[in-house]
Chains A and B, each alone.
Chain A
Amino acid sequence: GEDVEQSLFLSVREGDSSVINCTYTDSSSTYLYWYKQEPGAGLQLLTYIFSNMDMKQDQRLTVLLNKKDKHLSLRIADTQTGDSAIYFCAESKGSNYQLIWGAGTKLIIKP
């Protein structure tokens, strides 16, 4: 099975908050990442959090990390149509810090 798990879809209304969840398995992971993939495009780094942090905020984005439960979440406040994309969670682990990726959560915005 995958080391990093995400729900495949999330549907929210425009203007609401979106919360995308991710669980990972390796408690020794040093960094956890959120990437965004818009239709027909490559992935772009949105934000990341170091494993000794609980929370990181960047404008409309809030990342929460619960190391005990190995749970990572990405909250997008005031969700807009431009936030429609697939969001990937990834953890870095191992001596070569290769990324282990979740399958991605497709965020669908309802008007």
Chain B
Amino acid sequence: NAGVTQTPKFQVLKTGQSMTLQCAQDMNHEYMSWYRQDPGMGLRLIHYSVGAGITDQGEVPNGYNVSRSTTEDFPLRLLSAAPSQTSVYFCASSYRTGTGELFFGEGSRLTVL
């Protein structure tokens, strides 16, 4: 099994550009989420989903959109990139909502110039 797969691994954007970070899991997990990781800070939750068709905001949702049309996929869209969105982004999933046993992708490093 591939687990949680994120693409791309690296991306450079200019301010104002939009892009989508892809996340796919092949474990039939109910719960999926997006975090950002910044130096000296813990992971911060951007958006999460408890099942296909259901999404909700986390701690830092501004500037990001998500959708969950299938159980497997949970893309994260940056609508108009800003330098403050320079970060490493992680997708994580778990077999059910309410458990902290998360499976993480390898991360996507985004730089916004």
A→B interface (CB under 8 Å): 2, 4, 8, 31, 33, 35, 40-45, 48, 88, 90, 92, 96-104
Contact = CB atoms under 8 A, between A and B. Distances in A.
Contact of A41 (B40, B92, B98, B106): B106
Given A42-B107, A92-B100, A103 B42 contact: yes
A92 B100 CA distance: 7
A44 B104 CA distance: 7
Contacts of A98: 45, 48, 58
Contacts of A42: 4, 90, 92, 104-107
Interface in B95-113: 97-107
B12 interface: no
A45 B93 CA distance: 12
A41 B107 contact: yes
A37 to B, nearest CB: 8
A41 B44 CA distance: 17
Interface of B: 4, 40-45, 48, 58, 90, 92, 97-107
A81 to B, nearest CB: 21
Given A42-B4, A42-B104, A43-B90, A102 B42 contact: yes
Contact of B100 (A2, A40, A48): A48
A2 B4 CA distance: 28
18 contacts: A2-B42, A4-B42, A33-B100, A40-B106, A40-B107, A42-B92, A42-B106, A43-B43, A43-B92, A43-B104, A48-B100, A90-B42, A92-B100, A97-B98, A97-B99, A99-B102, A102-B42, A104-B42
Contacts of B45: 98-99
B40 A99 contact: no
Given A42-B4, A42-B90, A98-B58, A90 B40 contact: no
